[in-house]
Amino acid sequence: MSGSKACPEDWKARIPLIFEGAEESSAADWSLSLPAELDYSGLNYSLKSPLRVHAEKLGNGRTFFLEIRLSFSAAAPCSRCLRETPLEIAGSFRYFYTPSAVEEGQNVDETVVSYPQDSVEIDLSEQIWESFILSLPDKVLCREDCAGLCPLCGADLNAGDCGCSSQGSDPRLQVLKDILPDVSEEC
Ligand SMILES: [Zn+2]
Ligand SMILES: [Zn+2]
């Protein structure tokens, strides 16, 4: 899949910069489209909902914190048994914005965003996409005590004992036994 490392081009997530007037802060809510699937951190995520975003500019100064809260529904294979596992993901992220004469993109820190001094609004698309990626879990379990798959026959051990483990055979030991047939008898 192409483009999985960048935010969708059709995202419109702009927030006005207000430096005068009574308003203390500004906020906005968006529902942004997500790709149907995304490969990240070795997992294949299916995305089941739009990305729901609440963005809030905290304070009315030229430097400010911007809070991004997001939530979405997804599914990914369990890291142990591969069963498709539904996920309800929510996250909260903060960025620090500061006006700068330097060109956009020359940010000194991942969470510090500089914007041109003459801006009247800022585009949050990249920060929202980054927050979305950071909110993806790198490990998914269908349940806390998932028994996983049998390393010998591949059976789903959540469905019951496949019989392999009752013989007490470890595949690594089995290899040794095949090479050295007498080892187990001598011990
Ligand atoms: Zn599982
Ligand atoms: Zn088995």
The secondary structure of 60-124 as a DSSP string is: SSSSEEEEEEEEEEEEEE-TTT--EEEEEEEEEEEEEEEEESSPTT--SSTTEEEEETT-SEEE-
43 C-alpha to ligand 1 centroid (Å): 14
Query: What residue has token string 């019989």?
Result: 163
Q: pLDDT tens digits for 93-119?
A: 999 998 875 555 555 556 888 888 888
Indicate if 65 and 128 belong to the same structural domain. yes
- Residue 167 inside a domain? The answer is yes
Which residue numbers in the chain have pLDDT < 50?
A: 1-3, 22, 183-187
Q: Give the total number of structural domains in the chain.
A: 2
* pLDDT value for 106: 53
Q: Cα–Cα distances in Å, from 180 out to 86, 164, 174, 177?
A: 46, 21, 10, 5
pLDDT at position 172 is: 58
Same domain, yes or no, for 44 and 94? Answer: yes
Same domain, 126 and 87: yes
- How far does residue 168's CA lie from ligand 1's centre (Å)? 22
Which residues span the domain enclosing 166? 157-186
Shared domain check, 39 and 119: yes
In a domain, 141, yes or no: no
144 CA distance to ligand 1 middle (Å): 8
Q: Which of 63, 90, 80 has its CA nearest to residue 158? A: 80
pLDDT at 20: 66
CA of 161 relative to ligand 2 center, distance in Å:
7
Residue 18 lies in a domain: yes
Q: Which of the ligands is closest to the CA of residue 163?
A: 2
Q: Do 31 and 98 fall within a single domain?
A: yes
Q: How far is the CA of 81 from the centre of ligand 2 (A)?
A: 13
Domain assignment present for 105: yes
What is the Cα–Cα distance from 151 to 18, expressed in whole angstroms?
59
d(C-alpha 36, C-alpha 135), whole Å:
17
- 6 Rama class: left (phi>0) / alpha (psi -120 to 50) / beta: beta
31 with 76, same domain: the answer is: yes
